[in-house]
Amino acid sequence: MAPLYIGFLIYPGVVQLDVMGAYQVLAFPPDTEMHLIGKTVDPITSNEGVTLLPSITYTDCPPLDVLCVPGGGMGQVEVMRDIETLKFLQRQGAKARYVTSVCTGSLILAAAGLLDEYQATCHWAFREQLACFGVDVVSERVVIDRDRITGAGVTSGIDLGLTLLQLLYDKATAKMAQLMMEYNPQPPFQAGSPEQAGETLTAQLLEAGKPLVDAFQLQVQKIATSV
């Protein structure tokens, strides 16, 4: 069988688990060819300080079966403004079987015009910002709207990957990948969403992250009004 080409956009400040959760799942079948895509092949430092090495550039990237765009910290704002990156996503998105994102990566897709008239999701703290682009925002873990598949917060990348394996292959393959990873969540706390965490803890987290969220909001509004 011809390989399935699966590519993850990476950039300075990308959240490494946004990339690696889905990457780990999608690398399970033997006929997937995985790529980390950068503007150059120079090392990239993630939001957490992890060094990632692109395997291919925009110019050399083959037509992808799956395009995945992960979210990031403030470095993501520069990507949302970068014409070269947005054009690359538009070219690949026009031909890919599935255009996907994890966390706030959906805002990058929206900036590229790839979520126009689609439903999508992102991290719960940034859904209003995604709506600034006119996206029909849905509060679900993974949202499937035709060939657009978007994941919510960081850890949803694993769920996104399993969803894609079922669509690309079958349910048995997805289940085997889940078993191989021993993906059997039993978190020590039930605080993985605002509904579970409660108002007090949610407010504390939002207050701690307010400088980033506010700065992000300001820049996103500027980008959204210029699209």
Catalytic residues, by residue number, are 103
Rg (CA), the chain: 17
Contact 51, 45 (CB under 8 A): yes
CA distance 160 to 199: 27
Residue 61 DSSP one-character state: P
Annotate 149-197 with DSSP letters as a single string. EEE-STTHHHHHHHHHHHHHT-HHHHHHHHHHHT-----SSS-SSHHHH
Q: How far is CA 11 from CA 57, 205, 221, in A?
A: 11, 26, 21
What residues contact 211, with CB distance under 8 A and at least 6 apart? none
Contact 43, 62 (CB under 8 A): no
Residue 3 DSSP one-character state: P
Token reading at 186: 């039993």
